[in-house]
Chain A
């Protein structure tokens, strides 16, 4: 994707900020800390912009490019020793979307706690699924086989359900 002659700083910033919610969600699934997630995303933006300034063109799939960059950077840097923040605390980065949509803050907290008890792998995959990625796309982003992704999605949701609802859930017998 080559640069349009009408590209401005504001235009480039708009493209990145539109992607930021997804990227922040994904980054939090890795870092478990909202500030680390923010720093990670901004760091990736910085690297991308340096590349863009040189080549003056966007990658064909910018979103996927940034997701992979975040993932790789996190793997390289590892997690910092910051206190783990709750997954719902990332809402601080977002504008309120629609005040008319009712939300149960207690339920939201329960959901956040249940999600927080899952493994890193579950965090990553469930976040990508929730943001519209297909299994085949997740395979491209993570390098994991589709069958593994399919299996992980199922197991992670099962665990999440157990954490959220406890022993009240009924299980099907084998």
Chain B
């Protein structure tokens, strides 16, 4: 369909022009000029414009908003389909404080978390809320174990059971273990070792082994000894068979009995968490099962377990130990990974 002169725009082109499309050779001035000289074209353009406006008004969604009912339906659909409860929406500092509650932070992160808690009511409230929640959950799941309670079965079955072992102070005397004490079924029997154990036989000997292994020079002054103890790693592994302490970098041999020995830097309530894995170090290993040590004193070595020994399976490759110490004004978390295998 054309409009007369071959150079004039077609009605289709005029229609496109009215839609705001670019048409070669057609401008508003030209269209106006053509319309003025051609009354029928003028009428046609006016009709086209009117039809366009009618349709646009009828079909346009401009300035329309859906009803509240539809809005609610869409919101409900969004909540159903979209999960926004993921890590990327949690404030990083909130996550840090929460991780600090679980002891899952590095030393630098712990300092940062403590600063947040000290300086901000908000983060302090998060710390308190998460600590409270953690304790409440723990109270539902676990019962507090008395210091003397035996470990659960998966550790028990690995034990070399000791009958009626008596703890002198905080120590188990290696002398006792060497007396072939095993198998004695008289629970009421006084420890053979108790009457023969002297300070020199057990305490100093034991400490001597610890100090020797750490290459410390021990003086005679008891205060210095205490200070030296404080400078040791909070957790050591005492190897029963060799009566020695596992050295840094040394592998823990499977099926060899050991105990944990703690050297607390200050007095407080202690806890230990133990976990073992068949995955090679350093694959991720989560914090393990919690055991309460009770009140432990600075300057004293504390063993765990008190009356039993532990060992690990041949298949185990790494062990994670978390030692937590807390009093009214301080809290420390020490995490250690031990590789398992043959040296």
Residues of A within 8 A of B (CB): 5, 7-10, 12-13, 16-18, 20-22, 24-25, 29, 38, 42, 45-46, 49-50, 52-53, 56, 87-88, 92-95, 97-98, 108, 111-112, 115, 126-127, 129-132, 134-135, 150-151, 153-154, 157, 160-161, 164, 169-170, 172, 174
Contact = CB atoms under 8 A, between A and B. Distances in A.
Contact of B58 (A16, A21, A87): A87
28 contacts: A5-B89, A9-B75, A9-B84, A12-B82, A13-B71, A13-B78, A16-B78, A42-B73, A45-B77, A49-B82, A52-B81, A52-B82, A53-B81, A87-B59, A93-B66, A93-B70, A94-B64, A94-B65, A94-B67, A95-B66, A95-B67, A126-B55, A129-B55, A129-B56, A130-B55, A132-B60, A170-B43, A174-B1
B228 to A, nearest CB: 51
Given A93-B66, A129-B56, A9 B51 contact: no
Contacts of B66: 17, 20-21, 24, 93-95
Contacts of A94: 64-67
Given A20-B66, A46-B81, 14 more contacts: A5-B88, A7-B84, A16-B74, A16-B78, A21-B61, A112-B58, A127-B59, A130-B58, A132-B62, A135-B16, A135-B21, A157-B51, A170-B40, A170-B43
Contact of A49 (B15, B47, B59, B78): B78
A98 B60 CA distance: 15
A153 B15 contact: yes
Contacts of B119: none
A9 B21 contact: no
Contacts of A7: 84, 89
Contacts of A56: 88
Contacts of A151: 12
- For the side of the interface on B, what is the size category? 35 or more
Contacts of B61: 21-22, 24-25, 131
A131 B12 contact: no
A97 B64 contact: yes
A50 B65 CA distance: 24
Contacts of A16: 74, 78
Contact of A13 (B15, B44, B74): B74
Nearest to A91: B64
The residue in B43, B58, B88 that gathers the most chain A C-beta atoms within 10 A of its C-beta is B58
Nearest to A170: B43
Contacts of A10: 75
B41 A172 contact: yes
B63 interface: yes
A9 B54 contact: no
Interface in B76-134: 77-79, 81-84, 88-89
B48 to A, nearest CB: 7
Interface string B164-192: 00000000000000000000000000000
